Structure 1
Amino acid sequence: MKQENKPLLVWFLTVGFVLIAFVAVFPLLNLILASFRPATDLMRNGISLIFDPNTLTLDNFVYIFTEAGQYWKWFGNSVWITVVIVVLSLFFSSMVGYALAVYDFKGRNFFFLLVLIILMIPFEILMLPLFQLMIKLQLVNTYTAVILPAVVAPIAVFFFRQYALGLPKELMDAARIDGCTEYGIFFKIMLPLMGPSLAAMAILQGLGSWNNFLWPLVVLRSSDMFTLPIGLATLLTPYGNNYNMLLSGSVMTIVPIVILFIFFQRYFVAGLTVGGVKG
């Protein structure tokens, strides 16, 4: 490519990416603006960027913080479930992925093939047998039923396995010579080196758990145990819609994920790009 054409290409790429970013952010912008509008205005004119600025108000957020106690119960449930799923998934999935990457044992390729097969099966197909298993274990309407299927996620196992393939095996040999156990090698040496992958998967697993709607809807029965996606969905009924809580609550739901991504963004990028270039 000629040197004089590069600035033009950069300009076109920049404009294209800006347009793509605007399309991605447009629904979020609509939601944020709608959360500052009265419910009566939304019911009359719908969610739109065309509205009277004089109608903007903080009443919806005041309602969330002063009268919507049920919302914060759902919020706490989602936080609790997400934290437990992320911690357990990172712990067990990293161990499984690490073992599949660095140890040569009989059946390793078979187990990795099983991981890939499960990864390709839609969750909707697995949902019925999983629900029957929860019934047999008497775990329906418990947080355990929500958490248990996500403890060892196939996507996390695959991700950690691919990441661990790039870890220096010389460190393992040196640690063995010094008398370090295999568990010590993993927790003291290899796991710290997997930090970027842990941060990247923490964001992906946390986002998936935070937004999970279908499986908690299937196994949870009590409204006090609902997560945020289920709780917010109950605000839309044939008898009336609570837009005051729905829209402002939806905006508040986004805040934890945005904060999580801001703090772990550099680790997230590093975790996804490592291994793309072999040294």
Structure 2
Amino acid sequence: MPGFVARTIKYLLLSLAAFVSIFPFFWMVVGATNRSVDIGIGKATFGDQLFINAANFFATVDAPRIFWNSAFIALVGTVLTLAISSLAGYGFEMFRSKFRERIFTLMLLLLSIPFAALMVPLFVMISSFKLVGTVAAVVLPGIASIFIIFYFRQATKAFPGELRDAARVDGLNEWQIFFYIYLPTMRSTYAAAIIIVFMANWNNYLWPLIVLNKPEQKTATLVISSLTSSYTPDFGMILFGTILATLPTLIIFFLLQRRFVEGMLGAVK
């Protein structure tokens, strides 16, 4: 009987957590099918305004351009971040030096600094290189992600040292070991990192808002957010746009979810 009670409590708590997690997505989908006035009064059933909201969204927003901008920034940012941060994580673990741990500890301490405190000096630096209004201004500050470097270093601890030693015996240099041995072995780690970094770049709002000053450069996140600033926002249209903006990250996650779980658990194959 105590076991039954424990399982009941566990499933109740899990059901509550699932409801809290899923309800915003349910509300978003339901809202996209209703009029703005119905959403305002809390209608929680599906309506018949989906195609009208879709037509209003595409008539109001240059959807292909803003989603292309978001996709380009997210893809370039993901590739560069994984390239730089994985190399750094690999280097921190594989190469020993007198100051390695001190430098790494300092980097982890920098994680405690909020981004709001870095915005002004970062903007001044980007302005001095005349990069404001470019994709580089959005992407470059994040390519050496301290969290991703930390993540790859921790994952590299599980990388079999025997593989590296055998590769050296076979005459491979360090770059060849990284590309031909390390990369295929750590594919689950890379899959998890792809999801984390892609979502961060796709959903990035504050920094692109600061450095992208031309309307044709705006991302989907910025444009959809700006739709709420009118005196009478069309919430149905906004929620439809939000669904479209959510789809790429959902697709990436579901394509890589198995590898994501393996990577987060530290699996090496």
- Please give the range of the TM-score, normalised by the shorter of the 2 chains: over 0.9
Query: What are the superposed Cα offsets for residues 81-131 of structure 1, whole Å, 9 maximum, x if unpaired?
Result: 000111111111000000101111232112211220222211111111110
Match of 2:51 among 55, 58, 61: 58
- Per the TM alignment, residue 236 of structure 1 is displaced from its structure 2 partner at its CA by 2.1
- Per the TM alignment, residue 68 of structure 1 is displaced from its structure 2 partner at its CA by 4.3
Q: Give TM-score scaled by structure 2 length.
A: 0.93
Please give the residue correspondences for 1:192-211 in structure 2 after superposition, counting only pairs within 5 Å: 192-211=184-203
- Per the TM alignment, residue 245 of structure 1 is displaced from its structure 2 partner at its CA by 3.4
Match of 1:79 among 66, 71, 82: 71
Q: Which residue of 2 aligns with 1:243?
A: 235
- Per the TM alignment, residue 69 of structure 1 is displaced from its structure 2 partner at its CA by 4.8
1:119 maps to amino acid: L
- Per the TM alignment, residue 244 of structure 1 is displaced from its structure 2 partner at its CA by 4.9
Please give the residue correspondences for 1:134-173 in structure 2 after superposition, counting only pairs within 5 Å: 134-173=126-165
Q: 1:97 to 1:233 in 2, by over 3 A?
A: same
Query: What are the superposed Cα offsets for residues 20-61 of structure 1, whole Å, 9 maximum, x if unpaired?
Result: 11011112211111111123544xx44442x6x565442212
Contact map agreement 2:167 2:177 (CA 8 A) in 1: yes
- Per the TM alignment, residue 239 of structure 1 is displaced from its structure 2 partner at its CA by 4.0
Q: Which residue of 2 aligns with 1:223?
A: 215
Please give the residue correspondences for 1:1-279 in structure 2 after superposition, counting only pairs within 5 Å: 5-42=2-39, 45-49=40-44, 55-65=48-58, 67-274=59-266
1:272 maps to amino acid: M
Q: 1:171 to 1:57 in 2, by over 3 A?
A: closer
* Structure of higher RCO (CA pairs closer than 8 Å, 6+ residues apart): 2
Contact map agreement 1:115 1:158 (CA 8 A) in 2: no
Q: 1:184 to 1:237 in 2, by over 3 A?
A: same
Task: Give the distance between the partners of 1:80 and 1:7, measured in 2 at CA.
Answer: 52
1:39 maps to amino acid: S
Task: Give the distance between the partners of 1:25 and 1:18, measured in 2 at CA.
Answer: 10
Task: Give the distance between the partners of 2:64 and 2:219, measured in 1 at CA.
Answer: 10
Matched-pair identity in %: 33
Q: 1:131 to 1:202 in 2, by over 3 A?
A: same
Count of aligned pairs: 268
Task: Give the distance between the partners of 1:126 and 1:91, measured in 2 at CA.
Answer: 24
Structure 1 unpaired stretches of 5+: none
Q: Give TM-score scaled by structure 1 length.
A: 0.90
SS in structure 2 opposite 1:140? coil
Task: Give the distance between the partners of 2:51 and 2:131, measured in 1 at CA.
Answer: 41
SS in structure 2 opposite 1:32? helix
- Per the TM alignment, residue 210 of structure 1 is displaced from its structure 2 partner at its CA by 1.1
2:81 maps to amino acid: S
Task: Give the distance between the partners of 2:237 and 2:17, measured in 1 at CA.
Answer: 30
- Per the TM alignment, residue 220 of structure 1 is displaced from its structure 2 partner at its CA by 0.9
Task: Give the distance between the partners of 1:13 and 1:95, measured in 2 at CA.
Answer: 41
SS in structure 1 opposite 2:98? coil
Contact map agreement 1:197 1:272 (CA 8 A) in 2: yes
Structure 2 unpaired stretches of 5+: none
